Amino acid sequence: MKLTKQHQNYESDHTLFIKALKEKNPGMEERQLEGRALLWDKAPISLSEQERQLESAVKQQAYVYQNKV
């Protein structure tokens, strides 16, 4: 969809808010990347380690809240 000349320079309120927030906190993006790396970006696991983890996993019963009687 091509915008007319009148609307080419339009920026939404959300875009303006994010730009202002980034200007106030210049290191915010770096901190976000550090947080992502801490929680999500993990080092690759070797195939032998994957196999060991699969073999050592404890099987879970089908309905975990039911006691075996």
pLDDT digits (tens, 9 = 90+) for 1-38: 566 777 778 899 999 999 999 999 999 999 999 999 99
- pTM for the whole structure: 0.46
CA distance 39 to 21: 23
Confidence of residue 61 (pLDDT cuts 50, 70, 90): confident
- Of 8, 29, 10, the closest CA to residue 18 belongs to 29
Residue 2: its pLDDT value, please? 67
Average pLDDT rounded to a whole number, residues 39-62: 90
CA distance 39 to 41: 6
